[in-house]
Copies of this chain bind each other. A is one copy, B any other.
Amino acid sequence: MSTKDNALSIFALGGLNEIGKNMYAIQYSDDIVIIDCGNKFPDESLLGIDLIIPDITYLLENKDKVRALIVTHGHEDHIGGIPYFLKKLNVPVYATRFTLGLIELKLQEHKLLRETELIEIDSNSSLNFEEISVNFFKVNHSIPDCLGIVFHTPEGTIVHTGDFKFDLTPVNNQYADIHKMAEIGRQGVLLLLSESTNAERPGFTPSERIVGEHVEEAFKKAERKIIISTFASNINRVQQVVDAARKTNRKLALLGRSMVNVVKVAMERGYLEVPDGMLIEPHEINEMPPEKVTILCTGSQGEPLAALSRLSTANYRGVDILPEDTVILAAGPIPGNERNVSRIIDNLFSLGAKVIYGTGSSTGMHVSGHGYQEDLKLMLTLMKPKYFIPIHGEFRMLHHHRLLAETVGVERENTFIMNNGDVVDIENAIARQTQKIPTGNTYVDGVGVGDVGDIVLRDRKQLSEDGMLVIILTLSKTEGKLVSRPDTITRGFVYARDSEELLKNVNRLVTNTVNDLRGGTKNEWNVIKHSIKKSVGQYLYTHTKRKPMILPIIIET
């Protein structure tokens, strides 16, 4: 499949719902430019799956046209798929200095650093491909060094916002290029792709700076150790933790691999300033008076293996949370993580800690990095696009973003809600949702990419709910008769020692089933297996209301 010459196409490769997240592409004639390549963490129904990444069949089929992967910012759902993508399609990767630092950590892990062409850009860069040229503008978000992208094509200008909010008092004075955005809009935008995460929330996002104020207040009140957990990548928040530690004369220890790695990248590249001598090693924590220590750690989402979870169950070697220590969760739970976070809070309370937590911004310890309705309307107003594609979010968020766009003057029929695999073509300034490209889930399980499909998952589901039963039959080759009694092995079904009677009955039933088969079918293994599955399955369901996987194994002797 390919698009027409001299036509502009926008591809949704990943963005909605369960699909490997956040990957769009723009094509004009023989130029394809990709925006972001994220991953998504699977929900509990995808048993054993580690990651979901976008399906890139279309890109592989049009390999020669792909000019670049441009990355808006360094969050997992925008960079997590890159190593898997590059293994299949090695193209130059463009990103800002900080984003590249995070991408490099990933490539190192996958041993891809040497063979990848990484090109540093900033908001003043411009890139020129054959038919598409590209500029950038700075946006605010919950990670430093984020870009929006402007694509100039023969058909007109396309703007992709990346993830953004408007923070008019940003930490570290990293202001968004609001005047540049206005100028882009003034010159005319054919199509805007804008993020939708908070399209359901009324109002304007609070500034990251208010988190700093609350952190400082809590630090001043704390009388013993402070343990504070947030997203490692939210370096502006980390900076505010550092500032609060400085003002209250506390040292700072970092716990958790990603916290250590990301802070290192941020310090080396000039995004984070930590006073000399403030950082201490974990083993030094116990040597200092508790009121002189802050611990900054991973695990704010309740991840079972992260530092905070291990601290909360007294399982972190050498570091203990003691009564009257203060624990601050400086991050709201991402939907789906609520239970894990609650469990940790419970454990922290039972250790006697003072715990500061709460959903969303109720404690002032978290603000969103995604623009609320008024932020989104401001972006739409600045860009004044003819066409609009709400991106990044679940269907209801895209739906609400469409309604917002209508209120600021985008015609309803000029908004397109794209599912994964959808394509919007623009020709002679007329946009239409036309073809579909191949799409689907690409699952990553261990080192396997795409080798676990629906059959394997269906088996895992059955095994996980009711376990299995292996039945071994030894049949004589000549007569097809049972040579010895059948043997049964179960796992995950019932505790075998307590269920001897049940399993004896299964063996008896198997014997009868085989003996009852008519002569002609005796040697047909499929018939035997099918009959056993059916009779044993029915017997077990009647007696246990469970449906274990039944695996008859026939040995001929």
Query: What residues make up the interface of A, taking CB atoms closer than 8 Å to B?
Result: 17, 43-44, 47-48, 335-336, 338-339, 342-343, 345-347, 349-350, 355, 394-396, 399, 445-448, 451-453, 455-457, 459-461, 463-468, 470, 472, 474, 489, 491-495, 498-499, 543-546, 549, 551, 553, 555, 557
Contact = CB atoms under 8 A, between A and B. Distances in A.
A461 to B, nearest CB: 7
Which 8 pairs from chain A and chain B are nearest by CB? A446-B545, A464-B464, A463-B463, A48-B465, A459-B492, A460-B492, A346-B395, A44-B44
A544 B460 contact: no
Contacts of A346: 17, 394-396
Contact of A395 (B44, B350, B495): B350
Contacts of A499: 451
Given A338-B335, A346-B17, A544 B447 contact: yes
Given A460-B465, A472-B553, A557-B557, A455 B495 contact: yes
Most chain-B Cβ atoms within 10 A of its Cβ — which of A43, A345, A460?
A460
B466 A544 contact: no
B472 A467 contact: no
A89 to B, nearest CB: 21
Contacts of A451: 494-495, 498-499
Contact of A492 (B399, B456, B489, B494): B456
Contact of A549 (B396, B491, B493, B555): B491
A549 to B, nearest CB: 6
A339 B555 contact: no
B495 A452 contact: yes
Contacts of A48: 464-467, 492, 546
Given A350-B395, A396-B345, A396-B349, A452 B494 contact: yes
Nearest to A448: B544
A433 to B, nearest CB: 15
Contacts of A399: 349-350
20 contacts: A17-B343, A48-B465, A48-B467, A335-B338, A336-B338, A336-B339, A342-B394, A346-B396, A349-B396, A349-B399, A445-B546, A451-B495, A452-B495, A456-B492, A459-B467, A463-B492, A468-B468, A468-B491, A491-B549, A491-B551
